[in-house]
Amino acid sequence: MTDFSNHKPPDDQDFVDRARILVIVEATNDIEFLQRISLTLHAVDSDLPILAEMEQQGQLIFVPFGGNNLPSWTHRFAAPGKPEFFLLDHEVSPETESRQEAAETINQRPGCRAVVTRKRSLENYLHPDAIREAGKIDVTFGDFDPVGTVVAKALFESGIFDGLWELLSRRSKSRLTSRAKRWLNTTVASQMRAEHIEQRDPHGEIASWLTTIGQLAHSF
């Protein structure tokens, strides 16, 4: 599996000028997930783009906006006139409604497309089998469970640490959850096979995101 962990795209103005599309996501973990999953899906459908390859060739720029103050980002990159693809986590109400409203605003702009995931976050598209293969832990979760926290707790209780999860401070839980999310979106995402994706994404959402990115990039 290709290692994307040390890849950093150039940030000079020429690179920005040459880019064909901006892919705007909430965090760097989302970038890691999309790079790995696109490589897996391309292996079974060559029409789907490999996002890391597009980035390395200067065709695509990932923009992690941090997940906050979304309305201020709906028109932030309008001036260059490049196609934009926004991928927004569903989260839970009332955040869901806010994201859906922002997506509607973005989708009114020519050459721009925004989607809100059906599941809570990208971690919810991971398969428990891939998690077990990568970390030797068994977890179950639904489409709207906080997978990062579920996995952090399971890893903590797997014998790596002494003590009870419930007795940890909020700060410690947050730190361990952040580490778990990073691991999920890198190591576990790399473990995802095509059959895992098909089982966890029966509606073909991920493939549709990649198709849209490819179409937008070639429309510019």
Residues 181 and 105 in one domain: no
The answer to the question of residue 104 being in a domain is yes
Question: Alpha helix locations (H) across 45-169?
Answer: 51-56, 95-106, 128-135, 147-155
In this structure, the answer to whether residues 110 and 212 fall within a common structural domain is yes
Does some domain include residue 8? Answer: no
- Identify whether residues 64 and 149 lie together within a single domain: no
Residue 30 lies in a domain: yes
Angle between helix 147-155 and 128-135 (nearest 10): 30
- Identity of the residue numbered 113: R
Give the pairing type, strands 84-88 and 60-64: unpaired
Q: How far is CA 152 from CA 110, 178, 181, in A?
A: 41, 8, 8
pLDDT number for residue 15: 59
Q: Are residues 107 and 207 in the same domain?
A: yes
- pLDDT beneath 50: ranges in the chain: 1, 4-7, 9-12
Distance of CA 60 to the CA centre of its chain: 15
- With beta carbons less than 8 A apart as the criterion, state whether 116 and 145 touch: no
Domain containing 51: what range?
A: 13-118+203-219
CATH number for the domain that contains residue 62: 3.40.50
**Does the residue 108 lie in any domain?**
yes
Taking alpha carbons only, the member of 55, 50, 62 closest to residue 25 is 62
The phi-psi region of residue 111 (left if phi > 0; otherwise alpha if psi is between -120 and 50; otherwise beta) is left
Spatial distance between the Cα atoms of 101 and 106, rounded to a whole number of angstroms: 9
107 and 161: one domain?
Answer: no
Domain assignment present for residue 153? The answer is yes
Are both 76 and 131 inside the same structural domain?
Answer: no
Task: Tell me, yes or no, whether 25 and 112 share the same domain.
Answer: yes
pTM of the model: 0.90
Q: What is the pLDDT of residue 14?
A: 60
The verdict on 38 and 66 lying in the same domain is yes
Say whether both 113 and 19 belong to one domain.
Answer: yes
Identify whether residues 95 and 150 lie together within a single domain.
Answer: no
pLDDT in tens, 182-201: 999 999 999 999 999 999 99
> Per the structure block, which two tokens stand in for 49?
């783009």
- Asked if 27 and 98 sit in the same domain, the reply is yes
Instruction: Return the residue matching tokens 């990115």.
Output: 213
The total domain count for the chain is 2
Q: Do 11 and 165 contact (CB within 8 A), yes or no?
A: no
Residue 5 within a domain: no
Neighbours of 51 (CB within 10 A): 25
Query: Which pLDDT belongs to residue 161?
Result: 64
> What would the two tokens of residue 140 be?
């179950």
pLDDT tens digits along 100-129: 999 999 999 999 999 999 999 999 999 999
Cα separation, 82 vs 151, whole angstroms = 38
Q: In terms of domains, do 160 and 187 share one?
A: yes
